[in-house]
Amino acid sequence: MNRTENASNSEFVPPNSYRRKEPTMPQDRYQIGVQDYIDYHRDGYLVVQGLVPDTEVEEIRRHTEELMSGRIIIDGVEPPPPGLTPEQMGQHWLRIHMLHRKHELHERYLLQPRILDVLEALIGPDVSALQTMLFLKPPGREGQGYHQDAYYIPTYPDTLIGAWLAVDPADEENGCMKVIPGSHHEPIYPDENKLGQNHTDGSIEDLAVIAGASATDESVNGLTPVAAKYGGREVAARMAPGDVLFFDSHLLHRSHANRTQTRFRRAFVSHYCNARSLVPWNHGAEFEGTTANNLHILARGNTHLDYALPKFGTPCDALNPRETARGVRPARMMGGMPASTVKGVMVTR
Ligand SMILES: O=C(O)CCC(=O)C(=O)O
């Protein structure tokens, strides 16, 4: 059964969005289908079932358990204080950001080859890896209200995309992702502090300035009226461990609280953009100059912009950039039609 179901209208199920392909040898390239590509662009998201092999998901799960028990301590990440019960230790973190700059395991999953294969098809060929978030979301912990990710991470051109890897089964009880198909066609709604971002240059006449993005209280969240335009179409992304949800950075999405007593809702969430986009973002930290591209890893392809190497040496194209755009000629104009058939234009090639 398709695990995507409309939260409030079970008749709406985006076709073909879920497709399982068995994991193959790591060096094999994972290929999405044409219909997957169409679905992604129509709906603003795509779930690829079983993309990450069980052994790798199990490795992340074990890692979270070691973190939560204090058996692994990562520099700069405060562990749970001593003397807590295992349940109290489990409540210590909702999520931890940017560990790929501190621990090799996180860099490895940011650069997971099968995830990069899909990204190459959706936003590539040149892919830059920007952010990681390890979600623990223990029982009882809060969700996050409607937001659009490009509101937080601007890229120019605007090519940001998220990849949400389920570590535990995710469902409505433990606070799975909820997405609004088609809402990725919306512009990014800015708040008054973000003037200068995306379309706030005045190119869209009636673009509303909002407040309260991500607030779980719908009466406070300024995106509530935008979400209301898609009334009844929200989809709960029920996922199994190893499934990956790829989602456009304009897509309106949210997650509710984990209402279970005992089940964590762990997920490894990464953000990427086309490596030819400028990225004036370093997770809120300082950077030199007007962009921070030099701090983000070139995961696939090549770029004319600066980029970072993987700090822990995870194999990726930054170590051996591939020629993608330079030197590649597009196909002959107008499919090779004779010059005389192209209205009023002399085609010289
Ligand atoms: O996993 C969640 O609960 C929210 C994640 C999210 O909204 C995001 O990654 O942008």
Domains of the chain from N-terminus onward: 18-347 (2.60.120.620)
Question: DSSP assignment of 312-335, as one string?
Answer: T---SGGGSPPP-STTPPPPPGGG
d(CA 211, CA 190): 8
The pLDDT value given to residue 202: 84
d(CA 313, CA 284): 25
Q: What is the pLDDT of residues 94-107, one digit of tens each?
A: 999 999 999 999 99
> When comparing pLDDT for 126 and 7, which is higher?
126
User: Is a pLDDT exceeding 90 seen at residue 339?
Assistant: no
Quick check: helix, strand or coil at residue 275? coil
> What is the average per-residue pLDDT within 200-229?
94
Q: Write the CB contacts of 200 (distance below 8 Å, at least 6 apart in sequence).
A: 190, 194, 207, 209
User: Is a pLDDT exceeding 50 seen at residue 24?
Assistant: no
Residue 334 pLDDT level (bands cut at 50, 70, 90): low
> When comparing pLDDT for 32 and 70, which is higher?
32
Task: Report which protein residue has its CA nearest ligand 1's atom 10.
Answer: 149
User: Is a pLDDT exceeding 50 seen at residue 8?
Assistant: no
The pLDDT value given to residue 303: 96
Q: Rounded to the nearest whole angstrom, what is the distance from the C-alpha of residue 144 to the centroid of ligand 1?
A: 7
| Ligand 1 atom having least distance to the Cα of 255 | 3
Q: What is the pLDDT of residues 265-320, one digit of tens each?
A: 999 999 999 999 999 999 999 999 999 999 999 999 999 999 999 999 999 999 98
The pLDDT value given to residue 28: 84
> What is the average per-residue pLDDT within 23-50?
88
Q: Rounded to the nearest whole angstrom, what is the distance from the C-alpha of residue 108 to the centroid of ligand 1?
A: 20
User: Is a pLDDT exceeding 70 seen at residue 26?
Assistant: no
The pLDDT value given to residue 193: 83
With CA atoms as reference, report the closest residue to 223 among 251, 252, 201. Answer: 252
Which residue matches tokens 């190497």?
309
Q: Rounded to the nearest whole angstrom, what is the distance from the C-alpha of residue 213 to the centroid of ligand 1?
A: 13
Type of residue at 197: Q
User: Is a pLDDT exceeding 90 seen at residue 82?
Assistant: no
> What is the average per-residue pLDDT within 215-244?
97
User: Is a pLDDT exceeding 90 seen at residue 9?
Assistant: no
Give the neighbor-by-neighbor strand order of the sheet with 253-255: 4-6, 235-237, 177-179, 253-255, 144-147
The pLDDT value given to residue 328: 57
Question: DSSP assignment of 199-225, as one string?
Answer: TTTTTSTTPPP---TT-SSTTT-TTHH
Q: What is the pLDDT of residues 160-172, one digit of tens each?
A: 999 999 999 999 9
Q: Which residues line ligand 1 (CB under 6 A)?
A: 135, 143-144, 149, 162, 177, 253, 255, 267, 269
Q: Rounded to the nearest whole angstrom, what is the distance from the C-alpha of residue 98 to the centroid of ligand 1?
A: 14
Quick check: helix, strand or coil at residue 166? strand
Please state the length of the chain.
349
DSSP assignment letter at 170: B
The pLDDT value given to residue 346: 40
Residue 197 pLDDT level (bands cut at 50, 70, 90): confident
The pLDDT value given to residue 198: 76
The pLDDT value given to residue 5: 42
| Ligand 1 atom having least distance to the Cα of 269 | 9
Residue 345 pLDDT level (bands cut at 50, 70, 90): very low
The pLDDT value given to residue 18: 45
Contact 237, 176 (CB under 8 A): yes
Average pLDDT, the chain: 88
Q: Rounded to the nearest whole angstrom, what is the distance from the C-alpha of residue 177 to the centroid of ligand 1?
A: 7
Q: How far apart are the first and last CA of the chain?
A: 52
- CA count, 13 A, side-chain hemisphere, 305: 24
Residue 344 pLDDT level (bands cut at 50, 70, 90): very low
Task: Report which protein residue has its CA nearest ligand 1's atom 3.
Answer: 255
d(CA 132, CA 94): 14
Tokens of residue 69, six digits: 């028990």
The pLDDT value given to residue 332: 63
| Ligand 1 atom having least distance to the Cα of 164 | 9
CB atoms within 10 A of CB 208: 12
> What is the average per-residue pLDDT within 152-180?
97
User: Is a pLDDT exceeding 50 seen at residue 22?
Assistant: no
Residue 335 pLDDT level (bands cut at 50, 70, 90): low
Task: Report which protein residue has its CA nearest ligand 1's atom 1.
Answer: 177
- Choose one of 47, 133, 183, 272 to mutate for the ligand 1 pocket test, by most ligand atoms within 8 angstroms of C-beta: 133
Burial-class residue 331 by CB neighbours within 10 Å (0-12, 13-18, 19+): exposed
